[in-house]
Structure 1
Amino acid sequence: MDFLTNTTHLHITTWVVGIVIFFIAALNGKQSKGLHMVLRLFYILIIISGGALFIHTMGYGQGMLYGFKFIAGILVIGMMEMVLVRQKKNKPTGMFWGLFAVFLFVTLFLGFKLPMNINFLA
């Protein structure tokens, strides 16, 4: 399972593809069951790769911050699912879009701040 924790590329690829699929599904006029199922597959891939990285990062001495990032990431996935399900049921989604944005910002901020990040400036 070293390929999961060797670099963060697999995890970053899965959440970028997941977010793109989410926006396609959310902004699409009609609900596509197949697209929603593909997105759920990416939820699982994101959680597996993130969980492996979470276990790997315990050696960095900042387990609590990585734990907060893990919880915020799970909340992002939860808000993505809530937006799509509530859209399908024709219920208001404004609050869940806002929570999605807040949790995504927290997750990205912690992900790029913590030691196992990708340094874009170097």
Structure 2
Amino acid sequence: MTSLHIHVGLWTLLLLAFVISLILHRAGKPKGQKILHMVARLLYLLVLVSGLHLLGYVYHFQGVSPLIKGASGILVLIAMEMVLVRMEKGKSTAFGWIILIIALALVFYFGYAILGVK
């Protein structure tokens, strides 16, 4: 299995953990939501490490496009955490959602349209 497949698998699991955590919160199941939030935090780290590995191994930390994609990816992780934490505290999540949607669109655009699958 290549580094790219590992990275894609990890962020897929992260997106699932994020969505299920949102669903559990709306269903009023705080214990399950908190557990999945902690799983998401572990996945943030794994996605970050695998992404940095790809950035170094495949692109050698060179070029503007890979660096923009990497920065956008970090912004996705930050926005996900912001949405989950603010949701748990009962605060507005609108800003987090806006950042998440924009950053996620940039990641997919740079990852698939600009850089292509390697």
Higher helix share: 2
Please, what TM-score do these two structures have when normalized by structure 1?
0.83
Is 2:9 aligned against 1:13? yes
Q: What corresponds to 1:37 in structure 2?
A: 38
What is the aligned-residue identity percentage? 33
Q: How many angstroms apart in 2 are the aligned matches of 1:44 and 1:95?
A: 23
**Structure 1 stretches of at least 4 aligned residues deviating more than 6 Å after TM superposition:** none
Q: What corresponds to 2:92 in structure 1?
A: 92
The count of residues paired between Structure 1 and Structure 2 equals 113
* Larger mean Cα displacement after TM superposition, 92-101 or 80-89: 92-101
Report the alpha carbon displacement of residue 99 of structure 1 after superposing the two structures with TM.
1.3
User: 1:15-58 CA deviation, whole Å, 9 max, x = no partner?
Assistant: 01101110111232233221111111110110011000000122
Q: Note the residue ranges of structure 1 that are not aligned, 5 or more in a row.
A: none
Q: Which amino acid aligns with 1:104?
A: L
Q: How many angstroms apart in 2 are the aligned matches of 1:23 and 1:43?
A: 14
Please, what TM-score do these two structures have when normalized by structure 2?
0.86
Is 2:98 aligned against 1:102? no
User: 1:65-106 CA deviation, whole Å, 9 max, x = no partner?
Assistant: 101100000000000000000001100111211211110010
Q: Which amino acid aligns with 2:49?
A: I
